[in-house]
Amino acid sequence: MDDASTAAATAPDGAKKGTAIPETLPASAFTDRTESFDVVVVGFGIAGGCAALEAARNGARVLLLERAAVHGGTSSMSGGHFYLGGGTAVQQATGHDDSVEAMYDYLVATSKEPEHDKIRAYCEGSVEHFDWIESLGFEFERSYYPEKAVIQPGTQGLMYTGNEKVWPFKEQAAPAPRGHKVPVAGDTEGTKLVMDLLREQVEKAGVEVRYETGATQLVTDDAGAVVGLAWRRFAESGLVRAGAVVIAAGGFVMNADMVAEHTPALGSKLFTLGSTYDDGLGIRLGVSVGAELKHMDEPFITAPMYPPSILLTGIVVNQLGERFVAEDSYHSRTSQFVMEQPDSAAYLIVDSAHVEYPQMPLVPLIDGYESLDELESALGFPAGSVRASLERYNEFAARGEDPDFHKGPEWLAVQDTGPWAVFDLRLGHALYAGFTLGGMRTSVDGEVLRADGSAIRGLYAAGACASNIAQDGKGYCSGTQLGEGSFFGRRAGAHAAGFTG
DSSP secondary structure string for all residues of 361-379:
-SS-EEEEESSHHHHHHHH
Q: How far apart are CA 71 and CA 55, in angstroms?
A: 18
Q: What pLDDT shows up at residue 3?
A: 52
Q: What pLDDT shows up at residue 187?
A: 63
Q: What pLDDT shows up at residue 5?
A: 40
Residue 466: DSSP 8-state: E
Q: Pick from 58, 24, 43: which is nearest to 226 by CA?
A: 24
* C-alpha to C-alpha distances, 456 to 82, 92, 226, 227, 447, nearest whole angstrom: 30, 41, 7, 11, 7
Q: Are 491 and 445 in contact (CB under 8 A)?
A: yes
Going from N- to C-terminal start, the domains of the chain cover: 3-76+190-298+437-471+480-499, 81-187, 304-424
Q: How far apart are CA 125 and CA 139, in angstroms?
A: 18
Q: What pLDDT shows up at residue 7?
A: 44
What do you get for the CA distance between the two ends of the chain, in Å?
A: 28
Residue 160: DSSP 8-state: -
Q: Give, in degrees to the nearest 5, the angle at Cα 395 between 389 and 401.
A: 100
Tens of pLDDT, residue by residue, the chain (501 residues): 345 444 433 444 444 458 899 999 999 999 999 999 999 999 999 999 999 999 999 999 999 999 999 997 877 777 789 999 999 999 999 999 999 999 999 999 999 889 999 999 999 999 999 999 999 999 999 999 999 988 888 899 999 999 999 999 999 999 999 999 998 876 656 688 999 999 999 999 999 999 999 999 999 999 999 999 999 999 999 999 999 999 999 998 888 999 999 988 887 777 777 788 889 999 999 999 999 999 998 888 889 998 899 999 999 999 999 999 999 999 999 999 999 999 999 999 999 999 999 877 889 999 999 999 999 999 999 999 999 999 999 999 999 999 999 999 999 999 999 999 999 999 989 999 888 899 999 999 999 999 999 999 999 999 999 997 866 778 888 899 999 999 999 999 999 999 544
* Spatial CB neighbours of 72, under 8 Å, sequence gap ≥ 6: 44, 45, 191, 192, 195
Q: Residue type for 332, please?
A: S
Residue 213 bridge partners (DSSP): none
Q: Residue type for 102, please?
A: A
Question: CB 417: neighbour CB atoms within 10 A?
Answer: 11
The CATH architecture annotation of domain 304-424 reads Alpha-Beta Complex (3.90)
Q: Are 176 and 162 in contact (CB under 8 A)?
A: no
Q: How far is CA 282 from the centre of its chain?
A: 16
Q: How far apart are CA 268 and CA 180, in angstroms?
A: 32
Q: Give all strands of the β-sheet with 81-83 in edge-to-edge order.
A: 81-83, 179-181, 158-159
* Spatial CB neighbours of 228, under 8 Å, sequence gap ≥ 6: 27, 30, 34, 40, 218, 219, 239, 240, 241, 242, 245
Q: How far apart are CA 254 and CA 235, in angstroms?
A: 23
Q: How far apart are CA 104 and CA 161, in angstroms?
A: 16
* Spatial CB neighbours of 356, under 8 Å, sequence gap ≥ 6: 308, 310, 311
Topology adopted by domain 3-76+190-298+437-471+480-499: FAD/NAD(P)-binding domain (3.50.50)
Q: How far apart are CA 143 and CA 177, in angstroms?
A: 12
Element (H, E) at 101: helix 100-109
Element (H, E) at 261: helix 256-262
Q: Are 466 and 480 in contact (CB under 8 A)?
A: no
Q: 428-444 burial by CB neighbour count: b if 16+ within 10 A, else e?
A: ebbbbbbbbbbbbbbbb
Q: Residue type for 21, please?
A: I
